[in-house]
Amino acid sequence: MKFTPIDPPRKFCVGGGGAITLKDCGRLELQPDEQVTFVTETGAEYDVTRKTWGFYATPSMNGRLVRFGLRAVLVKSSDGKLFVMLVERGKEPEFERYLAREGQIVVQWFDSGTLEP
């Protein structure tokens, strides 16, 4: 694993009308079969694993991810772009307010219901 910090972080605006400022803090390079875990202050965890063919972008969405305190959801933006987002359990009301502000809608929660036709 190789981490290259960006100091100072690169700042840029996103979202409806550029209302959100993000900070790009660095680059993380993984070799095949290496994993990193991101942790929130509440203890939720999110793993990313590099493989020779690409990445496991999330742990199993109806297994480990749920046990780690996160819910995966497919979201569609007002311009038709699709995003997979991870929502901390218990923060769904805050997430719904975010979607409303940004003009986005939930297509499917991956930890509930069926995805098959």
pLDDT, tens only, 25-81: 999 999 999 999 999 998 899 999 999 999 998 888 888 898 999 999 999 999 999
User: CA 85, CA 68: separation in Å to the nearest integer?
Assistant: 15
User: CA 99, CA 87: separation in Å to the nearest integer?
Assistant: 12
The pLDDT of residue 73 is 95
Amino acid at 64: R
Residue 117, pLDDT above cutoff 50: no
pTM (global) more than 0.95: no
Asked if 105 and 76 count as a contact pair (C-beta separation under 8 A), the reply is yes
User: CA 70, CA 111: separation in Å to the nearest integer?
Assistant: 10
User: CA 101, CA 93: separation in Å to the nearest integer?
Assistant: 13
Length of the chain: 117
